[in-house]
Amino acid sequence: MRASPKRAFLKPLKRGLILGHRWLGIATGLFLAAWVLSGLVMLYVAFPALKEAERLSRLAPLAWDRVLLGPDAALARAGLDPAPGGLSLSMRGGAPVYQVTTRDDARHVVSAETGQALGEIDGAAARASFGEGATVRAVTRDPWTVRDRYDPVRPFHVVALGDAAGTELYVSARTGAVVLDTTRRERLWNWLGAIPHWFYPTPLRARGELWRGTVLWVSGLATAGVLSGLALGIWRLRLYRPYAAGVSPYRGLGRWHHLLGTLGGLSLLSFVASGWLSMNPNHWFSPRTPPAALQAAYAGPPAAVGRAALDGLARPGIVEVRFTQVGGRPVLVAADARGRRVAVPPPTEAILRAAAARAWPEARIAATETLTAYDAYWYPHHDTRPLPVLRVRFDDPAATWLHLDPETGALLDRLDASGRLQRWLFEAPHRLDFGNLFQARPAWDAVMWLLNGLGATIALSGVVLGWRRLRRRARLG
């Protein structure tokens, strides 16, 4: 008797789902378990980073009497042309210097007394500011500085302060500035958190494209494995005409894997699929960081800044002055060790709008708004984002938004329709960041623990089932 066309189609489909889910689960089950468990660690311990407040707190007050040259004269003597926003004045080794980032992202240090370009510092100079109890070692790349954003300031002198927290400061040999701090707690927990979660073994992460491709393939295969398992679990579930063993045809651990996978498969799928999307496959989403050309157009043509421009900021307690431009107008932003800032001259909203319009000439400004509270697209989840912020909306096909700091005029980011879509496809399901939903703690923590715990149980039970099958095949083999 010939099978019906429907049965002839469904039987190989089910067989394919079973085999596909089985072998994809064997290949990626441990990765899935590691991802969901390490994600729980990351809820409470972030990857080491130097916060702006920490950076400023470690700077010495400027010795104004030794600032003999303005930025124009000092840069002319050194023969350097900084990128927009790539110039600041601070202290290094007891002397005022200009920290310069040129348009090729190279870093230079220029004396504010002589205009001479200064060379690298040695370990003794790096340790000198931190007391006799500090020790120093040389590092070029390690798990905490593996990202390519640190390439322009390598190598480092790592200064261990010898304090109770086990603090280590990464001082750039090239610039003499502290670029990172870590504590013993951060280092320990990140071996269980961000490093396994982000696939951060140093030799792999140091090769950016290889790392990105590896994460995309592994997370893509894991997504296919979870999706096939969810489809198979629903298919094999019988609520109205149960099997002899109940609603699931399996027994023992297989039964638990089936039922829990069907119950929690959708949340596990949302975690792993959104993680895959975070790697921006095929570059579907535009990055929020404004491209160099946009930053240059927003800054406008270079404006002269002489020594006299610093006189209004020469007050005690100032540790840094940043030199920026908005639409060709210089803006000097001074900060003290507590992070308090003053901008001279402060840009007006009209100036900001005009600079934004010149930066995006292919479109017109459709609307502007000043945000005094966070919303769905400007929020501080694991980030530091200032308020208030000026949002400028354009009428271009990509529906571009620019976020500007109304206090300093800084161009903070660019967000277009693809970036807003990624916010809902990645941040929302991966971090349960749906606006105000689940943001009240400890409710958010409880939901994250429940879903991650369920996902880990599904993954680990699958690993055990896969191991048993491999052992049986080996014995029969």
Q: In whole angstroms, give the CA distance from residue 105 to residue 161.
A: 30
Total-model pTM: 0.91
Domain residue spans of the chain: 10-44+203-286+443-476, 52-182, 292-415
- Spell out the alpha helix ranges (H) of 140-207: 184-190, 194-197, 202-205
pLDDT band for position 74 (cuts 50, 70, 90): very high
- As a whole-number percent, the residues of the chain with pLDDT over 70 amount to 96
Q: What does the mean pLDDT of the chain come to?
A: 92
Higher-confidence residue of 410 and 240: namely: 410
CB 152 within 8 Å of CB 144? no
Q: What is the pLDDT of residues 271-329, one digit of tens each?
A: 999 999 999 999 999 999 999 999 999 999 989 899 999 998 999 999 999 999 999 99
Q: Estimate the crossing angle of helix 252-278 against helix 208-235, to 10 degrees.
A: 140
For the chain, the 3-state helix, strand and coil shares in percent, each to the nearest 5, are 45, 20, 35
Q: Which residues of 433-442 are buried (b: 16+ CB within 10 A; e: fewer)?
A: beeeebeeee
| Cα-based distances in Å from 373 to 386, 390, 424, 438 | 10, 11, 20, 18
pLDDT band for position 244 (cuts 50, 70, 90): confident
- As a whole-number percent, the residues of the chain with pLDDT over 90 amount to 82
Q: What is the pLDDT of residues 7-19, one digit of tens each?
A: 666 778 778 888 8
Nearest to 182 by CA among 11, 54, 349: 54
Residue 113 half-sphere exposure toward CB, CA atoms < 13 A: 11
What is the maximum alpha-carbon separation in the chain? Answer: 100
Q: Residue 72 has what pLDDT?
A: 96
Q: Spell out the residues 6+ positions from residue 227 whose beta carbon is closer than 8 angstroms to its own.
A: 269, 273
Q: Which of 40-54, 144-158, 188-202, 379-393 has the lowest mean pLDDT?
A: 379-393
Q: Which phi and psi angles does 320 have, rounded to 5°?
A: -155, 145
Residue 76 half-sphere exposure toward CB, CA atoms < 13 A: 8
pLDDT band for position 117 (cuts 50, 70, 90): very high
Q: Residue 47 has what pLDDT?
A: 95
Q: Is residue 81 scored above 80 in pLDDT? A: yes
| Cα-based distances in Å from 173 to 64, 145, 470 | 25, 14, 52
Q: Which phi and psi angles does 355 have, rounded to 5°?
A: -65, -40
CB 432 within 8 Å of CB 426? no
Q: Residue 312 has what pLDDT?
A: 87
Q: Residue 4 has what pLDDT?
A: 66
Q: Residue 366 has what pLDDT?
A: 96
Beta strands of 130-251 (E only): which ranges?
135-139, 156-160, 168-172, 178-182
Q: Is residue 99 scored above 80 in pLDDT? A: yes
pLDDT band for position 57 (cuts 50, 70, 90): very high
Q: Residue 200 has what pLDDT?
A: 94
Q: What is the pLDDT of residues 389-414, one digit of tens each?
A: 999 999 999 999 999 999 999 999 99
Q: Which two tokens stand for residue 360?
A: 């995006």
pLDDT band for position 44 (cuts 50, 70, 90): very high
Q: What is the mean pLDDT of residues 85-92?
A: 96
Q: Spell out the residues 6+ positions from residue 31 whose beta carbon is closer than 8 angstroms to its own.
A: 218, 219, 222
Q: Is-cis flag, bond preceding 249, omega within 30?
A: no
Q: Residue 115 has what pLDDT?
A: 96
Q: Which of 239-253, 347-361, 433-447 has the lowest mean pLDDT?
A: 433-447
- What is 86-105 written as a DSSP string? EEEEEEETTEEEEEEEETTS
pLDDT band for position 1 (cuts 50, 70, 90): very low
Q: What is the mean pLDDT of residues 323-339?
A: 95
Q: Residue 3 has what pLDDT?
A: 56
Q: Report the amino acid identity of residue 388.
A: P
